[in-house]
Structure 1
Amino acid sequence: MHTLEQVLNNISQQPVTILDTKIPVSSYIPIDLSAHNPDLEEVAVTDPDQCQAYIDQILEQHSATVAYGGYLEQRNLYADKSGFTTEGKPSRNIHLGMDFWAPAGTQVVTPLFGKVHSFQNNSTPGDYGPTIILVHEAKGVTFHTVYGHLSLESLEGLYAGKEFQKGENLATLGTPDINVHYAPHLHFQIIQDMQNNQGDYPGVCSRTDLDFYSRNCPNPNLLLKL
């Protein structure tokens, strides 16, 4: 029997595009937004303008278009969000997906064939904003992909079961006022068991819950190979 990790790893041996196909993979650059990055000590990453300025700096340094990364990264990005803290201290700060930092309006494409599982606008501060979840099946294994921080227009015309082919335009990235106060980016996450969630699923967890969530949400780069 195939495991989800095996299935993801075998879908493609080449990099899989998740943003506008006109942006070459050579224009992607890793970025470190962890709490351990000394370059962020003087950056208020919870402020979308300051966060964007740092991202732009990294992109310019490397002549890149997209900054990506963040799987299981411990971050200070959520320190000002009440749903991520307990008694003023971070309680959920480990990121469970990969982020792709690119301009608002950038197209998001499906990395493989899927059907709409659910969608909604998660507008609580610190959440995803407009979100789409697809369901996939490969080698007898069912799994889901989450696309968060989208534009409101991305939710128009959707319905459960709607099909999207590999490489088809799925959505566009939202602006900070729509994506719940973050610099524009795509949150991409793979989930095996949705645990009866609809249109939403935790994208950040606490250290105490990391064992479960890291197993239920494997590294998206097993699929994307960036």
Structure 2
Amino acid sequence: MNTLLEALESYSAETICILDSAISASAYVTLDISKSNKDLINLDITDYTVCQAYIDNVLKGKQGVIAYGGYLEQRNLYSDKKGFTSDAQPIRNIHLGMDFWHAADTKVMVPIDGSVHSFKNNTTIGDYGPTIILEHVLNGITFYTLYGHLTLESLEGLYVGKDFKAGEVLATLGTPDINVNYAPHLHFQIIKDLEGNEGDYPGVCAKARLSFYKENCPDPNVLLKLL
């Protein structure tokens, strides 16, 4: 285990709920939207209304409120998006963060003390829409967390260096017209090295680059500890 993973693992023994603090951890249920999920074979998961209907069915079946998962999940979700399927580049379809699917305007909570590194509205279809990146120092180790698919209002009043404490409200979830064509959800990603990026960082990679990105973007659940 590397030093960042050790720091994340030791940060808290308790589950950290990253959406509205009024929703308990017991209301979080796992979601599989990988290309290997046979339930999705005849569904156009790239259509956010179809995706939302599937998520709603999973939540109903599992008696949950928030659906989550997706770290290193290979997905068909991006198959209609040019930036992910270009003939000139390897297909990017391996998800590098965790997604938390819930209604638009749901509060996003800060999981660990940090300050604003950068923020941006990434408006290309298939991207994040409004995005915030926080910088953290834990046990002397600097790392970053990325929050994508937010409301435009989430970016108001932000400035580089603005401090947030764990448990504070950082943002709210955006609608499909703002989050660039996805069912409402939070993309949450931990990043060791931003490689010079500001307000954006790849959230999906090609198989050929997986070894690098798996090292640079560790499993967010090491920090959050959802069951």
Aligned to 1:188: 188
CA distance in 2, matches of 1:29, 1:17: 12
C-alpha deviation, 1:86, in angstroms: 2.5
1:93 is paired with a residue whose SS is strand
- Corresponding residue for residue 95 of structure 2: 95
SS at match of 1:84: helix
What fraction of aligned residue pairs are identical, expressed as a percent?
61
Per the alignment, residue 120 of structure 1 pairs with 120
Secondary structure of residue in 2 paired with 1:209: helix
| 2:158 aligned partner | 158
User: In 2, Cα distance between the equivalents of 1:90 and 1:129?
Assistant: 23
Q: What residue number does 2:142 align with?
A: 142
1:88 and 1:198 map into 2 onto residues whose CA distance is: 25
| 1:201 aligned onto 2:201 | yes
- Give the match for residue 27 of structure 2: 27
Q: Is the 8 A contact 1:18 1:111 kept in 2?
A: yes
Counterpart position of 1:214 = 214
Q: Which SS does the other structure have where 1:74 is aligned?
A: coil
Whether contact under 8 Å (1:105, 1:172) holds in the other structure is: yes
Please report how far the alpha carbon of residue 142 of structure 1 lies from its aligned counterpart in structure 2 after TM superposition: 0.3
**Which letter maps to 2:94?**
I
Residue 90 of structure 1, CA deviation: 6.7
Render the CA deviation track for 1:97-139: whole Å, top value 9, x for unaligned. 0000000010000001000000000001110000000000011
For residues 33-112 of structure 1, the aligned pairs below 5 Å read 33-87=33-87, 91-112=91-112
Q: SS of 1:160's equivalent?
A: coil
Deviation for aligned residue 1:88 = 9.4
- Tell me how far apart the structure 2 counterparts of residues 22 and 174 of structure 1 sit (CA, whole Å): 19
> Retained in 2: the 8 A contact 1:147–1:188?
yes
Distance 2:77 2:22 in 1: 30
Unaligned runs of 5+ in 2: none
Per-residue displacement from partner, 1:60-79 (whole Å, max 9, x unpaired)?
Answer: 11111100000000000000
**Unaligned stretches of 5+ residues in structure 1:** none
Q: Distance in 1 between matches of 2:130 and 2:214?
A: 24
Q: Alignment length, in residue pairs?
A: 226
Deviations 1:150-185 (A, max 9, x none): 000000000000000100000000000000000000
Does the Cα contact within 8 Å between 1:79 and 1:90 map onto a contact in 2? Answer: no
Q: TM-score, normalised by structure 1?
A: 0.98
Distance 1:38 1:166 in 2: 38
* Length-normalised TM-score, structure 2: 0.97
SS in 2 for 1:170: strand
Deviation at 1:87, TM superposition (A): 2.6
Distance across 2 between alignment mates of 1:90 and 1:197 = 21
Deviation at 1:17, TM superposition (A): 1.4
| Match of residue 4 from structure 2 | 4
CA contact (8 A) 1:119 1:199 kept: yes
Structure 1 CA distance, aligned partners of 2:220 and 2:194? Answer: 16
